[in-house]
Amino acid sequence: MSEEMLKILLSELKMIRVRCLGNRDGSPCGAVIEFPVAKLKGFFSSDPKCPSCKEPFVLGIAGGVVDPFDQLARTLDAFAGIRTQAEIEFIIPNKGN
Ligand SMILES: [Zn+2]
C-alpha cells in the first residue's frame, strides 16, 4: 500500500494563521489573524484575544490562565535550540488515499 503524505519540517513553518472561533453575538466571528512564526513570542502581548470580537485566546486552569501562544513560542525556541540533535517533521496524510 502506498500512501502519499505531505511532510513539513518544523523549521519550514513560517507563518501562523489564527482563526477565531468566538461566537459572542450568536454568529461566528471568523476573524483571521496571520503573522510570522518569528513574531509569535509576544504577538498578543500578555492578553491574547481576538482583535475583532475580543474572544480570549487563553486556557483557564486552576490558579490562573495559560497563554498557548507563549507556550508554543517557548516550545519552538526549545526545538530550535536542539536543531543539530533532532528535527520535528509534521506528516499530513493525503486524504485521497
Ligand atoms: Zn473573534
How far is ligand 1, taken at its centre, from the CA of residue 58, in Å? 13
Domain coverage including residue 54: 8-84
Backbone angles phi, psi at 77, to 5 degrees: -60, -40
Q: In this structure, is residue 3 part of a structural domain?
A: no
Locate the DSSP E strands across 3-88: 5-9, 15-19, 32-36, 59-61, 64-66
pLDDT in tens, 84-95: 999 999 999 887
Q: In this structure, is residue 12 part of a structural domain?
A: yes
**What is the reported pLDDT for 2?**
58
How far is ligand 1, taken at its centre, from the CA of residue 14, in Å? 23
Q: In this structure, is residue 67 part of a structural domain?
A: yes
Q: In this structure, is residue 95 part of a structural domain?
A: no
Residue 63 has pLDDT above 90, yes or no: no
How large is the average pLDDT for residues 26-43?
92
How large is the average pLDDT for residues 72-82?
94
Q: In this structure, is residue 41 part of a structural domain?
A: yes
Residue 17 has pLDDT above 90, yes or no: yes
How far is ligand 1, taken at its centre, from the CA of residue 61, in Å? 22
**What is the reported pLDDT for 26?**
83
